[in-house]
Structure 1
Amino acid sequence: MSEFLIVGGGVIGMMTTLQLADAGHSVTLVERRCCGQEASWAGGGIVSPLYPWRYGPAVSRLSRWSEGFYPELALRLREESGVDPEYRQKGLLYLRVEDEARALEWAREEGKRLERVDADFLYAREPQAAPGFQEALWMPTLGSIRNPRLVSSLRTRLAAMPRVTLHEEVEVTGFEVAGGRVLAVQTTRGDLAGGQVVVSGGAWAAGLLETLGVALPVRPVKGQMILFKAPPGLVQRVVLMDGRYVIPRADGRVLAGSTLEECGFDKTTDAEARASLRASATAIIPALADCEVEHHWAGLRPGSPDGVPFIGAVPGIDNLHVNAGHYRNGLVLAPASTRLLVDRLLGREPILDPTPYALEGRC
């Protein structure tokens, strides 16, 4: 029996496993598919909420801590796994921001670099941006990471760690509970036991806890994205306009996203969304109209009230914990939210006040 059993092998589950194993503990990670193939793979990889000033302090605190952690994490994973997560810190350009005054006020309050720039600045940095803009907002510190490579590097690193046991293609069906403790996690391949159990199942977390009579307000929210096969250098940095964005990769490919759809666990794609995403992308970077749409996919975000994740102990069950409900910011908040939970699990001083994320009083 491992000291810790993690249910859900997305970026939250894998980062939790990595930190616990780094601290010298044995960890078993159980994933219903292959690790990192759901929302962690499907997202865009921007290491910031899209419009950070529109979130409350609970999300902002996690985001601020995580953003500073990613350069170090990416370097470590590249060295230890041989897979480069392709962290790029080239900034973000905001076009047509309706609440610009609030954004600049937020930046002053938070000590965050965000400034209004003129057309010369905009087109010097992004020559292919849509013409006609007289100004933009510029956040020079923003980074992005190639999330499929991030999850691949995390999985590769975990698979090489002797204290980590990975169970993939294994679905959790329930929990055996007695005396206020989880005795075993029931799966399609038999029961598994762990001293402490963490549910980090993303959009599926609510269904897992429902088997215990715990009503976790986390729901799936579909997001569709497309990928352009573009020449290297066409787009240099993340550009955001009217809630849609383009994200360049090192090989020239450009992601464009994303939709927000309330349709349960349906992950099908459709022509209407594809056309809408293409129209948004070409409105930001007109030259993308000449590029092939190479791929179109959908993922399921774990939606939660106000986008504030649930991080901490499940009331009434001594050894059960949850880390889920990050909505659009799972990858953004993953380093801080996993560190916060691991601090609690190991009895360390937490990096942040855990109160806003507790389940008690919110479920």
Structure 2
Amino acid sequence: MSDILVIGGGIIGLLTARELVQGGAAVTLIEMGRTGRESSWAGGGIVSPLYPWRYPDAVTALVRWSQQVYPDLCAALHEASGIDPEFTPNGLLILDTEERAQALAWAARQGDEVQVIEGPAVRALEPELGLRPSQALRFPAVANVRNPRLAKAARRALDGYLRLREQEEVLDILVAHGHIQGVRTTQGVIHADQVIVCAGAWTGRLLSQFCRPPAIAPVRGQMILFQARPGQVRHTTLYRDRYVIPRRDGRVLVGSTLEHTGFVKATTAEARDALHRSAIELFPLLEQAPMETHWSGLRPGAPSGIPYIGAYPGTTGLYVNAGHYRNGVVTAPASARLAADLLLGRVPSIDPAPYALEAPR
């Protein structure tokens, strides 16, 4: 029997388990597939929201806390696992400037650095850019991580520190007299004093046996990957909700769609072609680069993009850490720390009120 059972092995579940283990808890992590292979694998790994000024303060608080710890977290995971998450502060270049005033006001409130770049200087920053914007916004401190490597590193760093059960689906959460007892899975019953659900897009379905399950719904996103050369694309570049992310080895990710298709994760030729057109518009050099792969993932969408982090009302010992929508990677360290604080009875690192399940969204 474990002190705490973590349901879900994405980056949210893995980092939550890590925080709990470091806090002295005996932890079992259960994942219906393989760890880190759902939305944690499918996303882009930008360590920032796409248009950060558009988000509620509750999301910004998680983002800012996480951004502060990300360099040390990636270094620690690299040392413990031998896998480099490739934390790369290459900056975020936003070519949409219609909301320039809002962006600058937001940055001033947050103490964040943002630069207004005039047209010729934009070309100097990104010589291969196909567009010729009169202005752009540059957030120079924004980094990206190679999210599949981040998940792999987090998983390997936990070897020997918890019990891991992959390819095992949770069928029911067991409760008696308002107190958590554990779960029933495809392999049997697992007893636990506390259970935290970090199941991403599947969280609402898993908690449907309870009154008022969290309003988390799957939102499909499709992406494509090119084989380019290092340095051809320098910044994470954003334009009209499409982003281009360079990796250290020259690969370039382009995303992403927003599709309400339920739990259907299949890719479509229509989305692939639309992403390809956006990629060529932004960086014409990609027309000559081989398109390596095309994939999709299911984001855990929640109202206003504010995740649910906290105790489940009316059931002692049941907690949730899910619903991060498009910002799972960037908010994962803060979300994991806050969830562990609440489970372990520590003083919360961040005000937990906005993330409570009963909080308005």
Q: Distance in 2 between matches of 1:160 and 1:146?
A: 24
- Superposed displacement of residue 284, structure 1: 1.2
The answer to whether the 8 A contact 1:97-1:241 is kept is no
Q: Distance in 2 between matches of 1:308 and 1:152?
A: 26
The answer to whether the 8 A contact 1:97-1:242 is kept is no
Asked if 1:95 is matched to 2:91, the reply is no
**What corresponds to 1:241 in structure 2?**
239
**What corresponds to 2:69 in structure 1?**
69
Taking structure 2 as the reference length, the TM-score comes to 0.98
Q: Distance in 1 between matches of 2:68 and 2:119?
A: 29
**What corresponds to 1:56 in structure 2?**
56
**What corresponds to 1:137 in structure 2?**
137
**What corresponds to 1:198 in structure 2?**
196
For 1:328-343, list aligned pairs within 5 A.
Answer: 328-343=326-341
Q: Distance in 2 between matches of 1:96 and 1:179?
A: 54
**What corresponds to 1:309 in structure 2?**
307
Q: Distance in 2 between matches of 1:342 and 1:96?
A: 38
**What corresponds to 1:287 in structure 2?**
285
For 1:88-167, list aligned pairs within 5 A.
Answer: 88-161=88-161, 164-167=162-165
2:210 pairs with 209, 212, 229, which one?
Answer: 212
The answer to whether the 8 A contact 2:97-2:135 is kept is no
**What corresponds to 1:172 in structure 2?**
170
- Superposed displacement of residue 250, structure 1: 0.9
The answer to whether the 8 A contact 2:182-2:193 is kept is no
**What corresponds to 1:42 in structure 2?**
42
Asked if 1:299 is matched to 2:288, the reply is no
Letter in 2 for 1:192: I
Q: Cα distance 1:123–1:361, how it changes in 2: closer, same or farther (>3 A)?
A: closer
C-alpha distance after superposition, 1:40-83 (max 9, x if no partner): 00000000100010011011111111111111111111111000
Q: Distance in 2 between matches of 1:121 and 1:141?
A: 18
Equivalent position SS for 2:206: helix
The range that moved more, 38-47 or 94-103, is 94-103
Q: Distance in 2 between matches of 1:221 and 1:209?
A: 18
RMSD: 1.2
The alignment-based identity, stated in percent, is 50
Q: Distance in 2 between matches of 1:317 and 1:22?
A: 25
Kindly report structure 1 stretches of 4+ aligned residues shifted beyond 4 Å: none
- Superposed displacement of residue 360, structure 1: 1.9
For 1:346-357, list aligned pairs within 5 A.
Answer: 346-357=344-355
Equivalent position SS for 1:59: helix
- Superposed displacement of residue 362, structure 1: 4.6
Q: Distance in 1 between matches of 2:170 and 2:208?
A: 13
Taking structure 1 as the reference length, the TM-score comes to 0.97
Equivalent position SS for 2:326: helix
Letter in 2 for 1:324: A
**What corresponds to 1:225 in structure 2?**
223
Letter in 2 for 1:204: W
- Superposed displacement of residue 248, structure 1: 0.5
The answer to whether the 8 A contact 1:45-1:147 is kept is yes
C-alpha distance after superposition, 1:3-29 (max 9, x if no partner): 110001100100011111112221000
C-alpha distance after superposition, 1:310-333 (max 9, x if no partner): 000001100000011111101111
C-alpha distance after superposition, 1:168-207 (max 9, x if no partner): 0000000221111121200000110111110000000001
Q: Cα distance 1:279–1:287, how it changes in 2: closer, same or farther (>3 A)?
A: same
Letter in 2 for 1:231: R
- Superposed displacement of residue 99, structure 1: 1.0
Q: Distance in 2 between matches of 1:8 and 1:132?
A: 44
**Gap regions ≥5 residues in structure 2:** none
Q: Distance in 2 between matches of 1:315 and 1:135?
A: 49
- Superposed displacement of residue 133, structure 1: 2.1
Letter in 2 for 1:137: L
The range that moved more, 211-220 or 19-28, is 211-220
- Superposed displacement of residue 213, structure 1: 3.4
Q: Distance in 1 between matches of 2:174 and 2:133?
A: 60
Letter in 2 for 1:327: Y
The range that moved more, 112-121 or 334-343, is 112-121
Letter in 1 for 2:203: A
Letter in 2 for 1:272: E
The answer to whether the 8 A contact 2:182-2:195 is kept is no
- Superposed displacement of residue 236, structure 1: 1.5
What number of residue pairs does the alignment pair up? 361
The answer to whether the 8 A contact 1:230-1:252 is kept is yes
